[in-house]
């Protein structure tokens, strides 16, 4: 076995020795990077370039050479609004409804997610009984597929679901949650928080455990009250981690699609249609398939995500620099 | 050692020969999706074709319906599609179809399948033969007859209009404490029949699509009104968004629905799921000012021009189209025949119950009531765009995001955008 391995090592050694002889200094690094660069270029850069090309072309043809150059028509159509706060005043009202929904979704989802994750992390950081078990319980939904999460909650909340059975047992009226725009939206936010909070709880828990114990000991010696300890010690020292969590949750929130799509299909009406669903339906599920419009919308989304990623990098760097 | 070497060489040689054998067989990939057992029923006939043609191997990929609607068109555009597929976007995928005409008996096909051949064509100037319409469907209603009897409400006559049916269904639901008086599948195709009965033209005098006119708006107004007053189950159109399909078959099967507007393809499901739990019946489409029309539709087998084996593909589809095979497929899958010869002789649905037989005969009788505009709509290549637009905008009107007038205005704009994009 060793012989076979060393045979192949020797086989590679011959061209590498030649390469090192001719490509001195930093140039040899490119030889090692080449296979990865090819894959990265093929599966990351090329699709980005294609996406940009599609955004500036029209027709429902999928092949680029069959498409017509339309300049910025797709972007113009997406941004044609007399009042950006009123989707009905926009040429593509469904796009703006999805933008409004996404904005409200991330404000609620990120706020609730960070709050609930923080409370959960604080509880799980205490010396409670079966702490390991509870940590697993809160992390478990993260392991589930988004579609499974959606179906579980759909079954719970449907007309004849578990929730209504429970309400009836308590002598209360049934509620058809998914028919009401506000309830459908609220439950979409809830299930997204339920599915992902375990991940953020874990990050915050790590942040909490990184706070030196002696700071708390000093606070105890000074007879500091628990709330004051939390407000003056825990929160400031946890803030860098919380900022990272917030930005990560924000990026993830903007990208939300599968669980909400499987849960509500974007309805009732367009009440829970988020921007990724709009892109998906415009580009793939609709007829004709408006690849250009979907690409233009995805570029706008990418710019927003790039700005959020920039923020994350900035916060992470500041955190690393102390 | 020599013995081992001989054995090893023999094994390698045998596997090489098998490989050559396998490589010489023509493999035909068939993408199939079905509400009932149509794929399995087709496969039984295909196995006989394979026996007659030992050099042909047919591999059936059974996929969800969504894959036929969303993945297949992308695969075809990218040139990676199957050789044959069972499709429902009949005219919409025409650009990828293999013309079977050079390989089949045109007269037989024209005589047997007549108008349905047009549904697969690109337009009036196209005389190609592209698809075998294996599943002719008609949209229309099912009623829970037992609930009518329990409520003591008379079943409306065959020429009753939508208002009469709505009143009757409401009375039955009230008397029997049934949750839903009426429901219609969430589909742009389903709502088209009633709108056509109300006089919707869908196309202008030049044959260009318009979708919305006064009659269409009138029906949508009624439809939205029925959702608001609780006549129609809001859970179907009111709870979903986008272009997602939603039916109410389970509610009907559970006995929670009095009147269910769906289509003939549900017969098998109703038959097997309801059994003797209650009596159900197929009644004709309610009438409007223009008639009592449902929408024709269905699915068919088509070959694709990117196939490496066009002759075999045509031969296989032609085999399925032969009268005996077609009759067998129709009988086993409980479908209405699109083949004039099979229809004329009548189909004996051997495995079906009496109830299913009655239902299928009732559906068959509805074919004559289908208005010409419904056939035209079904054959129009961009009809899926119109179905989707109807779906999205009518849903918005139902949940109150838009008024019916605004929804119809938006539908007109959406159609203009879609047609401009499709025609560029």
Chain B residue with the nearest C-alpha to that of A70: B424
In a domain, B331, yes or no: yes
- Mean pLDDT in chain B? 91
pLDDT in the model for residue B9: 52
3-class SS letters over chain B: CHHHHHHHHHHHHHHHHHHHHHHHCEEEEEEECCCCCHHHHHHHHHHHHHHHCCCEEEEEEECCHHHHHHHHHHHHHCCCCCCEEEECCCCCCHHHECCCHHHCCHHHHHHHHCCHHHHCCCCCCCCCCCEEEEEEEEEEEEEEHHHHHHHCCCCCCCCCEHHHHHHHHHHHHHHHCCCEEEEECECHHHHHHHHHHCCCCCECCCCCECCCCHHHHHHHHHHHHHHHCCCECHHHHCCCECCCCECCHHHHHCCCEEEEEEEHHHHHHHHHHHCCCCCEEECCCCECCCCCCCCEEEEEEEEECCCCCHHHHHHHHHHHHCHHHHHHHHHHHCCECCCHHHHHHCCCCCCCCHHHHHHHHHHHHHHHHCCHHHHHHHHCCCHHHHHHHHHHHHHHHHHCCCCHHHHHHHHHHHHHHHHHHHHC
Residue of B67, B188, B242 to mutate, testing the A interface (most A Cβ within 10 Å of its Cβ): B242
pLDDT at residue A22, as a whole number: 79
Residue B12 has pLDDT above 70, yes or no: no
C-alpha to C-alpha distance for B267 and B332, rounded to whole angstroms: 12
- Band of residue A142 on the pLDDT scale cut at 50, 70, 90: very high
For residues A50 and A125, state if they share a domain: no
Span A177-200, average pLDDT: 95
Give yes or no for A282 touching B (CB within 8 A): no
Which residues in chain B touch residue A179, judged by CB atoms under 8 angstroms apart?
234-235, 238-239
By residue count, chain A amounts to 322
pLDDT band at B18 (very low <50, low <70, confident <90, very high): very low
Q: Residue A2, class by beta-carbon neighbours within 10 Å (0-12 exposed, 13-18 middle, 19+ buried)?
A: exposed
B352 lies in the same domain as B375: no
Query: pLDDT tens digits, residue range B335-357?
Result: 889 999 998 888 888 778 889 98
The verdict on B110 and B147 lying in the same domain is no
Point out the residue among B69, B239, B410 whose CB comes nearest to the CB of A93: B410
How many Å lie between the alpha carbon of A181 and the closest alpha carbon of chain B? 8
Is A73 inside any structural domain?
Answer: no
Residue A190 inside a domain? The answer is: yes
Look at A272-281, B117-126, B316-325 and tell me which has the smallest mean pLDDT.
Answer: B117-126
- The answer to whether residue B4 sits within a structural domain is no
Shared domain for B394 and B347, answered yes or no, is: no
Confidence of residue B82 (pLDDT cuts 50, 70, 90): very high
Confidence class for position B20, pLDDT limits 50, 70, 90 = very low
Do A7 and A153 belong to one domain? Answer: no
**Which of A159, A261, A264 shows the shortest C-beta gap to B235?**
A159
Q: Which of A32, A55, A78 is the last residue of a domain?
A: A55
Q: Is B11 a domain residue?
A: no
Contact residues on chain A for B90, CB-CB shorter than 8 A: none
My answer on whether A122 and A240 are in the same domain is yes
DSSP string covering B181-224: EEEE-B-HHHHHHHHHHTT---B-TTS-B----HHHHHHHHHHH
Cross-chain Cβ contact B242/A281 below 8 Å: yes
Optimal mutation site among A55, A64, A97, A268, interface B, most CBs of chain B within 10 A: A268
* Cβ neighbours of B396 in A, within 8 Å: 269-270
How high is the pLDDT of residue B114?
Answer: 85
Q: How many angstroms separate the CA atoms of A11 and B109, rounded?
A: 64
Q: A270 CB near a chain B CB, below 8 Å?
A: yes
Do residue B381 and residue B233 come from a single domain? yes
Domain end: B363, B383, B410, which one? Answer: B363
Domain range holding A40? 2-55
Please tell me the predicted confidence (pLDDT) of residue B17: 47
| Average pLDDT of span B73-94 | 92
Q: Can you name the residues that pair with B183 across neighbouring β-strands?
A: B260
Residues A184 and A46 both lie in one domain: no
**Residue B149 and residue B262 in one domain:** yes
Percent of chain B past pLDDT 90, that is, above it, reads: 74
Output B126 or B36, whichever has higher pLDDT.
B126
Candidate from A6-15, A69-78, A240-249, B367-376 with smallest mean pLDDT: A6-15
CB B215 within 8 A of CB B199: yes
Determine whether the interchain pair B241/A93 forms a contact, defined as Cβ–Cβ distance below 8 Å: no
Q: Which residues of B touch A (CB under 8 A)?
A: 69-70, 73-74, 77-78, 89, 92, 179, 234-235, 238-244, 246, 382, 384-385, 387-388, 392, 395-396, 398-402, 406, 410, 413, 417-418, 421-422, 424
| Candidate ranges B27-31, B341-345, B380-384; pick with highest mean pLDDT | B27-31
Q: What is the mean pLDDT of residues A150-157?
A: 94
Q: Would residue B73 count as lying in a domain?
A: yes
Best interface-test mutation with A: which of B421, B422, B423 has the largest number of A CBs within 10 A? Answer: B421
Put simply, the answer to whether B243 touches A286 (Cβ < 8 Å) is yes
pLDDT at B22: 47
Q: What is the mean pLDDT of residues B373-377?
A: 93
CB contact under 8 A, A285 and B242: yes
Same-domain status, A116 and A248: yes
Indicate whether A64 belongs to any domain: no
Q: Are A36 and A147 part of one and the same domain?
A: no
Q: A155 is written with which tokens? A: 């079954």
Tell me: the pLDDT tens digits for B389-408? 999 999 999 999 999 999 99
The predicted structure's pLDDT at residue B394? 96
pLDDT band, very low/low/confident/very high, at B15 (cuts 50, 70, 90): low
Whether residues B328 and B347 share a domain: the answer is yes
Cβ-defined contact of B241 to A272 (cutoff 8 Å): yes
Domain count, chain B: 2
Average pLDDT score over residue span A245-252: 91
- Asked whether residue A288 is domain-assigned, the answer is yes
- Are the Cβ atoms of B400 and A269 closer than 8 angstroms? yes
> How far is it, in rounded angstroms, from Cα A22 to Cα A5?
26
User: Is B239–A179 a contact, with Cβ atoms under 8 angstroms apart?
Assistant: yes
Specify the pLDDT at position A232: 92
Q: Which positions in chain B touch A284 (Cβ < 8 Å)?
A: 70, 74
Q: Are residues A103 and A24 in the same domain?
A: no
Average pLDDT, chain A: 91
Among B363, B388, B415, the domain boundary falls at: B363
Q: Which residue shows structure tokens 């027709």?
A: A59
Render pLDDT for B240-280 as a digit per residue (tens, 0 to 9): 888 888 999 999 999 999 999 999 989 988 998 999 999 99
Q: Give yes or no: residues A17 and A108 share one domain.
A: no
Q: Which residues of B touch A55 (CB under 8 A)?
A: none
Q: Is the pLDDT of residue B6 over 90?
A: no
**Which region, left, alpha or beta, applies to residue B131 given φ > 0 means left and ψ of -120 to 50 means alpha?**
beta
Question: What average pLDDT does the segment A24-34 reach?
Answer: 80
Pair (B277, B388) in one structural domain: yes
Domain that holds residue B385: 137-296+368-423
Same domain, A47 and A102: no
Residue A281 contacts B where some CB pair is shorter than 8 Å: yes
Residues B128 and B153 in one domain: no
Q: Are residues B342 and B375 in the same domain?
A: no
Q: Is A174 on the interface with B (CB under 8 A)?
A: no
A270 chain-B contacts, CB cut-off 8 A: 241-242, 392, 396, 401
Does residue A127 sit in the same domain as residue A205?
A: yes
Same domain assignment for residues B164 and B258 = yes
Query: Residue A168: which CATH number?
Result: 1.10.3720.10
What is the total count of domains within chain A? Answer: 2
Same domain (yes/no): A154, A280 = yes
Report the pLDDT averaged over residues B168-193.
97
Q: The domain spanning residue B342 has which CATH number? A: 3.40.190.10
Could you tell me how many CB contacts below 8 A there are between chain A and chain B?
A: 110
For residue A278, is it within any domain?
Answer: yes
Pair (A23, A94) in one structural domain:
no
- Do B201 and B215 meet the contact criterion of CB atoms below 8 Å apart? yes
pLDDT band (50, 70, 90) for residue B4: low
Looking at the predicted structure, is the pLDDT value of residue A63 above 90?
no
Tell me which chain B residue has its CA closest to the CA of residue A268: B239
pLDDT at B101 exceeding the cut of 80: yes
pLDDT tens figures, B121-171:
988 889 999 999 999 999 999 999 999 999 999 999 999 999 999 999 999
- Whether A227 is covered by a domain: the verdict is yes
**Same structural domain, B82 and B68:** yes
Assigned domain for A187 exists: yes
Residue in B70, B239, B413 closest to A267 by CB: B239
B330 and B418 inside one domain: no
Q: How high is the pLDDT of residue B241? A: 85
């Amino acid at each position: 076995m060793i012989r076979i391995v060393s045979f192949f090592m020797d086989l590679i050694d011959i061209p590498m020795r030649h390469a090192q002889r001719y490509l001195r200094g930093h140039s040899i690094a490119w030889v090692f990077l080449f296979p990865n660069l090819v894959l990265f270029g093929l599966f990351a850069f090329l699709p980005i370039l294609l996406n940009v090309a599609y955004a500036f072309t029209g027709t429902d043809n999928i092949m680029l050479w069959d498409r017509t150059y339309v300049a910025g028509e797709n972007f113009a159509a997406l941004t044609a609004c007399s009042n950006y706060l009123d989707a009905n005043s926009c040429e593509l009202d469904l796009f703006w409804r999805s933008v409004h929904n996404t904005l409200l979704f991330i404000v609620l989802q990120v706020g609730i997610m960070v709050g609930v994750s923080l409370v959960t992390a604080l509880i799980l950081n205490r010396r409670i009984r079966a702490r390991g078990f509870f940590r697993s319980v809160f992390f478990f939904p993260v392991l589930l597929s988004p579609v499974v999460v959606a179906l579980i909650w759909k079954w719970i909340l449907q007309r004849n679901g578990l929730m209504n059975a429970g309400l009836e047992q308590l002598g209360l009226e049934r509620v058809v949650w998914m028919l009401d725009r506000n309830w459908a939206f609220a439950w979409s936010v809830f299930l997204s928080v339920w599915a992902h909070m375990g991940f953020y709880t874990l990050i915050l828990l790590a942040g909490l455990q990184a706070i030196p114990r002696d700071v708390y000991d000093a606070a105890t010696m000074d007879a500091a009250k628990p709330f004051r300890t939390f407000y003056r010690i825990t929160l400031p020292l946890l803030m860098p981690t919380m900022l990272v969590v917030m930005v990560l949750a924000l990026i993830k929130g903007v990208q939300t699609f599968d669980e909400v799509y499987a849960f509500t299909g974007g309805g009732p009406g367009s009440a829970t249609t988020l921007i990724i669903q709009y892109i998906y339906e415009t580009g793939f599920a609709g007829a004709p398939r408006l690849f250009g419009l979907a690409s233009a919308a995805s570029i706008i989304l990418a710019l927003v995500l790039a700005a959020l990623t920039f923020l994350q990098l900035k916060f992470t760097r500041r955190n690393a620099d102390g | 050692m020599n013995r081992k070497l001989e054995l090893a060489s023999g094994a390698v040689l045998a596997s090489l020969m098998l490989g050559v054998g396998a490589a010489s067989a023509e493999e035909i990939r068939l993408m199939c999706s079905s509400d009932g057992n149509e794929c399995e029923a087709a496969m039984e006939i295909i196995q006989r074709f394979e026996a007659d043609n030992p050099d042909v191997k047919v591999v059936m990929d059974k996929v969800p319906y969504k894959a036929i609607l969303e993945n297949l068109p992308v695969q075809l555009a990218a040139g990676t599609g199957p050789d044959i597929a069972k499709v429902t976007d009949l005219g919409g995928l025409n650009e990828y179809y293999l013309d079977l005409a050079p390989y089949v008996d045109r007269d037989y096909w024209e005589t047997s399948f007549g108008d349905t051949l047009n549904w697969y064509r690109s337009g009036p100037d196209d005389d190609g033969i592209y698809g075998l319409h294996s599943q002719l469907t008609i949209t229309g209603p099912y009623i829970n007859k037992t609930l009518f009897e329990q409520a003591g409400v008379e079943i409306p006559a065959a020429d009753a209009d939508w208002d009469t049916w709505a009143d009757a269904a409401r009375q039955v639901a009230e008397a029997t404490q049934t949750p839903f008086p009426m429901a219609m599948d969430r589909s742009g195709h389903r709502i088209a029949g009633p709108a056509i009965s109300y006089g919707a033209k869908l196309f202008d005098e030049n044959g260009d699509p318009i979708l919305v006119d006064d009659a269409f708006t009138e029906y949508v107004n009624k439809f939205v009104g029925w959702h608001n007053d609780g006549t129609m189950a809001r859970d179907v159109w009111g709870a979903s968004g986008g272009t997602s399909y939603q039916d109410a078959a389970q509610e009907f099967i559970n006995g929670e629905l009095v009147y269910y507007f769906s289509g003939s393809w549900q017969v098998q499901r109703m038959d097997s799921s309801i059994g003797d739990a209650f009596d159900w019946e197929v009644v004709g489409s309610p009438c409007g000012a223009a008639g009592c029309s449902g929408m024709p539709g269905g699915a068919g087998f088509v070959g694709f021009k990117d196939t490496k084996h066009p002759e075999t593909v045509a031969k296989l589809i032609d085999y399925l189209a032969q009268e005996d095979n077609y009759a067998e497929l129709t009988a086993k899958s409980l479908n209405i025949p699109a083949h004039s010869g099979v229809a004329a002789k009548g189909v004996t649905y051997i495995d079906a119950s009496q109830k299913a037989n009655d239902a299928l005969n009732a559906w068959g009788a509805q074919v004559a009531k289908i208005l010409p505009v419904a056939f035209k709509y079904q054959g129009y290549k961009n009809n899926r765009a119109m179905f989707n637009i109807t779906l999205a905008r009518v849903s918005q009107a139902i949940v109150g995001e838009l008024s019916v007038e605004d929804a119809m205005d938006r539908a007109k704009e959406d159609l203009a955008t879609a047609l401009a994009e499709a025609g560029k």
